[in-house]
Each structure stands twice: as C-alpha cells, then as structure tokens.
Amino acid sequence: MVDLSRKYDVLVIGGGNAALCAAISARRDGASVLVLEAAPKFYRGGNTRHTRNMRCAHDAATDILTGPYTEEEFWEDLLRVTGGETDEELARHMIAESKDILGWIVEQGVRWQPSLGGTLGLGRTNSFFLGGGRAMLNALYLTAERLGVDVLYDAEVMDLDIADGMFMSAAVRRGDGRAAVTASTLVAAAGGFEANIEWLRQYWGEAADNFLIRGTPYNRGSILKMLLEKGAQEIGDPRQCHAVAIDARAPKFDGGIITRHDSVVFGIVVNRDAERFYDEGEDVWPKRYAIWGRLVAAQPGQIAYIIFDASSANSFMPTLFPPIEASSVAELASRLELDPAALENTVGRFNAAVRPGTFDHTILDDCRTEGLTPPKSHWARRIETPPFYAYPVRPGITFTYLGTRVNKQARMLMKDGKPSANMFAAGEIMAGNVLGKGYAAGVGMTIGSVFGRIAGREAARNGRN
C-alpha cells in the first residue's frame, strides 16, 4: 500500500521511459521515490509503449550494432536535422552521456535485439529493444518495484503548488477525490501536449481537428501548462513537433507504429483536389519520412492519398490497413471520392514526365521526371499497371517540442533565469531543449533516458541537501 501521508524524497510525475529512468536512478541513489502515472496499469507508459529503438553514440560495433557511431557524428546528424535549432551544450552533453546509457539500461533489465529491417536502415546507429517498448517498460517497472519505488496508477496530477520556483506539493486524483502529495523534489516527466487537441488548435487552428495522435491520449500537457504558468521558463516553438503521414483510417489515439506509411517514394501523393504538392523522391526515406505529417497538415482538409500501381505493391512494408484497390485510375478516384478526371489528368501528366532510368530505392537513383512541377527527383516510375492502389493519409502527431527549459543537471530554469530550487524535467516535456525542429530516429528515447537518469540522480542529491 502506498502511504500518501508520508513525505517522499522524490516525486516523479509520469509513467514512461523518462519517468522510470528518473525513478530508478533516484532510488539507486538512496532516495524514497513515488511515481504517479495518470493512466491505468494496462496503459501505463505513455508513448514509450510504442517505441522500438534508441539512438546512442558508441565507439565500436557492439553485439547488435554494426559499427561505431561517434559523438561527433551523432552531433552532426542532430545539427543537420534541427537546422542548428538546438542547445549545443545540452545536446553535446546528452550525446556524451548516451554512450553510457547503452550499458546502464541493460543493468536495469532491458535487453537489446539486432536492428529490425524495413524502412529506416538504423543498424549502425540505433539499438532496438527486445520485444519493443512495452517489454522495455515492463523491465523498467519490474526493476523499479524491486528497488522499492512506489508506483500509483490512475493517478493523474491535477495541480502543483509551486512557490518562488520551489515545488511544495501536488494534488493527485484518487477515485472521485483528490489527495495531496508532498516531496522534497519533483521530476516532471509527463510528456508533451500532443493529445490535447484544444491546445494544438491554438497554434494550428481547425486543422488540428483532423490530426491523429499516434500515441497515448494521456499526454495532454497538463503538467507542462502548470509549470509554465507557475514560473518555469519555456523553450521551443509550440507548432514544432514530430509528425508523420499515417493511415487516415487509424484510431484518433494510440494507433502506434503499424499505421505509418512508408510507401511515398514508390508512388505519387495527391491532395483532395487530386493534385500533387511535393517532390515524393526528394531524398532517401529515412531523411524524409518525418516531413510528410506537416506536408499533409498544410493540405485542404488535412488529407492526402498515396497512389501507386501493381508494380510497387510488394516493395514496402505492409501496414495495418490494406490499400484501396481499383482496376483503373478513374475507378480508384471514385473510391477515394476524388474527381476521376482530375486524378487521371495528374497521373497522365506524371507518367508523361517520367524519364527512363534504373530503379533502386536504396540510392538516389536516376529515375526522375522532367518538366513537371513539383518534380519527382528519384524513383519516378510510370503508374500504369493495374490494379491501382491508394492509401489515404492524415498527419500523425508523435510528440510536441514545446517544453520547460533545463540545464545540464536537468534542473528547470525559471523565467528569471535562475535554476529552480527543487524541480527537474526529463523526456518529451523538455525535448525542445534539444529538438528546436526536425528529428533523428531514436532521439526521443535518448532524451528521456539520459535526462531521466540525470534528473533522478540530481533530485535524490537535492532532496538530501
């Protein structure tokens, strides 16, 4: 039984990777720790449940990674994807610490497996969790519980009492009522605000109503909002997020990885006016998959359709939902409720612009269009072999980047620039410190693990002093 009348050394809010890394690290440092997870036990673990891998620097190949991935190379990758919109000191610190995380996470019971094949080719840079994110979380929860961390589920934190940058207590929902929880220090690891459509609407307008949320419905940003309202310094552009194209038939929340479409480079993508709007062959898929959520978000009705034919049908990983099939382009348009003449015209103009080449989707091949706007710069092949197929896609929001500003100790900075007396943050809730925009696959878990571990350790020490 968890005794809420006692004062804990460290209160961790959240139940995903960042929270568990913080809780374990604080407990190993001798602190008493309480974890409050808003979700019921079955749904514990937020977006972390859906993950598959983590990006860590390493100087040599490991049992499961094919070669070295130096700190410098990791930094250059991060610099490129963020366009320099990252806090260099913090990012470099995270990358340096990530080397140690590969072993530390195994000490907490997590097991690695060789890279999964498929679409993103991450065998050198990213370590995959044996059994996926759910198994990873189960291992962390087991370790936390064995160490004596107290965990409460169905325990949404409704309010925080913060005075002059100092955490005093939290109000947690218990059944129909509320209970007060006191602790010497706070680690906020409660995710971003991606599941809060009303909040997203403030920045995206009505388009937000058409977004699908790939992960947990519990990341409503309530803790982030409270912290920002009560003096924590904010970082990040509220419109920046990780967003990919996912099947329009996916559920509103929690559709997970199997709803993502990786078939864009094999066909063309049209909007509801049956018009193409972006170069589907601009660059290799691992470098482009994360832009398609935003591209679709900018289209009328936030809907688009990936169109391909029988020659590509078996070239990519299948997704949960089967493609919509027809024996002609006009029939396909009717099934998609698009104007048949408009789609025939778009496909016809595309086919006429395709120049012959040698198709190879693993390199920037020479199959391209000529005289077409927008062009398809690589992997352009005529769409002419029936049956014809389409996947309807919508923006799938993975997680938002607006967050609380932290220093290298994962300690929150307040609006006046001073470090908080006893508040720390880890994971999505502070991702904007490292990710001003853009994304490199596997960095979400790096941010949570590295800063979670640091936050737990620092919170434990802070609680003792």
Ligand X SMILES: Cc1cc2nc3c(=O)[nH]c(=O)nc-3n(C[C@H](O)[C@H](O)[C@H](O)COP(=O)(O)OP(=O)(O)OC[C@H]3O[C@@H](n4cnc5c(N)ncnc54)[C@H](O)[C@@H]3O)c2cc1C
Residues that bind ligand X (CB under 6 A): 13-19, 36-39, 45-48, 50-54, 156-157, 189-191, 214-216, 218-219, 222-223, 256-257, 398-399, 427-428, 442-445, 448
Concatenated DSSP letters for 213-251? E-S-TT---HHHHHHHHTTBPEES-TT-EEEEEEETTS-
Cα–Cα distance measured from residue 228 to residue 226, given in angstroms and rounded to the nearest whole number: 6
- CB of residue 133 to ligand X, shortest distance in Å: 7
Q: Considering beta carbons, is residue 221 or 267 the nearer one to ligand X?
A: 221
Helix or strand (DSSP H, E) at 161: strand 157-163
Q: Given the complex with ligand X, which of 189 and 402 has the nearer CB atom?
A: 189
Positive or negative, the CA dihedral 377, 378, 382, 383 is negative
* Residue with Cβ nearer ligand X (338 or 450): 450
> Least separation, in Å, of the C-beta of 138 and ligand X?
14
Burial class of residue 370 in the structure, from the number of CB atoms within 10 Å of its CB (0-12 exposed, 13-18 middle, 19+ buried):
exposed
Provide the 3-class DSSP secondary structure of residue 111: coil
* Shortest reach from residue 279's CB to ligand X, in Å: 26
CB of 259 to ligand X, least distance (A): 8
Q: Which is nearer to ligand X, 320 or 364 (CB)?
A: 320
CB 452 within 8 A of CB 20: yes
Least Å distance, CB 78 to ligand X, is 13
Please identify, using beta-carbon distances, which residue of 267 and 448 lies nearer to ligand X: 448
Contact 465, 14 (CB under 8 A): no
- Residue of 321, 211, 323 lying closest to 266 (CA atoms): 323
Closest CB 19 distance from ligand X, rounded Å: 5
Residue with Cβ nearer ligand X (189 or 264): 189
d(CA 299, CA 294): 9
Cβ nearer to ligand X, comparing 86 with 312? 86
Instruction: Please give the helix or strand (H or E) that residue 326 lies within, else none.
Output: strand 324-326
Least Å from the CB of residue 455 to ligand X: 11
Helix (H, G, I), strand (E, B) or coil at 159: strand
**Residue number with CB closer to ligand X (171 or 353):** 171
Helix residue ranges per DSSP H, 15-117: 17-28, 71-82, 88-107
360 CB neighbour count, 10 Å cutoff: 12
Q: How far is the CB of 303 from ligand X (least distance, A)?
A: 20
